Amino acid sequence: MDERPVRVLTVDDQAVFRRTARALVGRTPGFELVGESPDGETALRLARDADPDIVLLDLRMTGIDGIETARRLSAEDPTRVIVLASSADVRDVADLAASAGAAAVICKQWLSPRLLRGLWIALRRR
């Protein structure tokens, strides 16, 4: 019996990144996109309905930022939140993101099917 696909929700205020993430998830075997959100508030609603396994969450967004969204997502559900940051922000926010319940912080430019699968494998072992 096959396992269900890893369900991914992407959250970013930039439409171009959401399109990129959609394509990346589509190219990753065993993963499926279950929702996209342009902001933290919408992401919280979508996460309740879509039941994602992973949330790819932008750090810097208008309205509720990525850290607060991660905090709220982690409080509501054991969803694995991966905060996506610019290379300049990754080191600066790692501890803050972890304290908000994020499982990882990675540079947006590093995101690839191989990294996404690797993160999922590592997170499942925790």
pLDDT given for residue 85 in this prediction = 85
pLDDT given for residue 18 in this prediction = 94
Cβ pair 30, 5 in contact under 8 A: yes
Cβ pair 54, 120 in contact under 8 A: yes
* pTM greater than 0.85 (yes/no): yes
Instruction: Return mean pLDDT, the chain.
Output: 89
Domain boundaries, the chain: 6-125
| pLDDT per residue as tens digits for the range 14-72 | 999 999 999 999 999 999 999 999 999 999 999 999 999 999 999 888 889 999 999 99
* CA 96 to mean position of chain CA atoms: 16
Higher pLDDT, 15 or 85: 15
Burial class (CB in 10 A: 0-12, 13-18, 19+), 121: exposed
Percent of the chain residues topping a pLDDT of 90:
57
**Which region among 19-33, 63-77, 85-99, 104-118 has the lowest average model confidence (pLDDT)?**
85-99
- pLDDT beyond 70 at 2: no
CATH of 6-125, picked from 1.10.3720.10, 3.40.50.2300, 1.20.58.2050, 3.40.50.720, is 3.40.50.2300
